[in-house]
Chains A and B, each alone.
Chain A
């Protein structure tokens, strides 16, 4: 394995860890707002690390650019949709969880 292989393996594993943590949070957190918080961590950071890990292996700058573009689009859509879900939930009168 070359150094770049080690680098992408580390990045992919770190990304996988974020997805795992995000999924556990989505399943276990008490209300919709904290679940959204967990979900966006998986989407933003987890996918970012995955994209970085794959970009290290990319054959050309064009492929790496496409991967980055995918990440940017998911960031945009994820952030907007999370806001819309949270906003809709607030308007329907769902109270944030308190201990």
Chain B
């Protein structure tokens, strides 16, 4: 009874926040509501017994995406102070009706698909459980992400790198920091950054048998980097060119190399020998964590660091 009411309150809050984030004319307000939406979404995932997704949603959906949106807002605001969405640019008339109908149809189709799911179906859970001891890890989520459906994760890691290439190719230059960070922010970053790195390493290691994994660990690592950037830290110029690019590419490249090797040896993409799988997965996840963290930090900065130095 009480938990049912909690679920209803969460669902209503989620829809209210989503509407607020979309309909708000004030961009800053929309971003804040979007971050709140991500946090409530994480709670909903916890209620749905999906703590892995909840962790990823809180770290990436609310935390890092929020930081990226706020950084983008700051750049927009610096370029032109009037960032409010004016009424003239809103969609109306025939396009409005068309978009509304299509969205409603999509919602109905998705709702129907969820509604008709077999309520007692375990899905592929039994197959995963039956093959878990051959996957090299004991956490079924990691087994699916890195072994049974490894190519999905390979593509996700690639997409992140592509996003960074897209951002860099815009040719923006990130402004130098204006003021000294101040004692409070400096102390906070000195206290939190070592702890965040420790938590990232823990999440990476524990992913083999419990809640955790490369994306969550990478997001925590990126949080440490964003905090350091806010406190005025900049990548030394000597590391900004080739070393940074090597770090960014290490994760996707390792993953891709293993995919090619397994394709040649086994005839199948990312098909690991069971006795090797655990070590290979840890190796992939370690390089992926570092690359994901570095990529997210670079996205927050928005421009290649060496270009910033030239100006």
Residue of B nearest to A87 (CB): B182
Residues of A within 8 A of B185 (CB): 80, 84
Contact of A83 among B184, B191, B195 (CB under 8 A): B184
Residues of B within 8 A of A77 (CB): 188, 192
In the complex the two chains form, is A76's CB within 8 Å of B191's CB? yes
A89 to B187, CA, bound (A): 20
A77 to B119, CA, bound (A): 43
Residue of B nearest to A83 (CB): B184
In the complex the two chains form, is B192's CB within 8 Å of A76's CB? yes
A-B contact count (CB 8 A): 16
Residues of A within 8 A of B191 (CB): 76
A85 to B109, CA, bound (A): 45
A76 to B185, CA, bound (A): 11
Size range of the interface on B?
A: under 10
Q: A93 to chain B: closest CB distance in Å? A: 16
Residues of A within 8 A of B195 (CB): 73
Those of A51-87 within 8 Å (CB) of chain B: 73, 76-77, 80, 83-84, 87
Residue of A nearest to B189 (CB): A80
In the complex the two chains form, is B192's CB within 8 Å of A84's CB? no
Residues of A within 8 A of B192 (CB): 76-77
Residues of A within 8 A of B187 (CB): 80
Residues of B within 8 A of A73 (CB): 195
In the complex the two chains form, is B182's CB within 8 Å of A76's CB? no
Residue of B nearest to A80 (CB): B188
Q: B109 to chain A: closest CB distance in Å? A: 39
A73 to B191, CA, bound (A): 10
A75 to B3, CA, bound (A): 29
Those of B155-204 within 8 Å (CB) of chain A: 182, 184-185, 187-188, 191-192, 195
Residues of B within 8 A of A87 (CB): 182, 184
Those of A15-68 within 8 Å (CB) of chain B: none
Residues of B within 8 A of A76 (CB): 188, 191-192
A73 to B192, CA, bound (A): 9
Residues of A within 8 A of B182 (CB): 84, 87
Q: A65 to chain B: closest CB distance in Å? A: 15
Q: B22 to chain A: closest CB distance in Å? A: 23
Residues of B within 8 A of A80 (CB): 184-185, 187-188
Residue of B nearest to A69 (CB): B195
Q: A62 to chain B: closest CB distance in Å? A: 14
Residue of B nearest to A91 (CB): B179
A83 to B188, CA, bound (A): 11
Residue of B nearest to A81 (CB): B188
Q: B297 to chain A: closest CB distance in Å? A: 19
A84 to B191, CA, bound (A): 16
Residues of A within 8 A of B188 (CB): 76-77, 80
Q: A94 to chain B: closest CB distance in Å? A: 16
A39 to B184, CA, bound (A): 19
A77 to B192, CA, bound (A): 9
Q: B184 to chain A: closest CB distance in Å? A: 5
Q: A79 to chain B: closest CB distance in Å? A: 8
Can you offer 16 A-B residue contacts whose CB atoms are under 8 A?
Answer: A73-B195, A76-B188, A76-B191, A76-B192, A77-B188, A77-B192, A80-B184, A80-B185, A80-B187, A80-B188, A83-B184, A84-B182, A84-B184, A84-B185, A87-B182, A87-B184
With A76-B188, A77-B192, A83-B184 known, 5 other A-B pairs at CB within 8 A are A73-B195, A80-B185, A80-B188, A84-B182, A87-B184
Residues of A within 8 A of B (CB): 73, 76-77, 80, 83-84, 87
In the A-B complex, list the 5 residue pairs whose CB atoms are closest, starting with the nearest: A80-B188, A83-B184, A80-B184, A84-B185, A84-B184
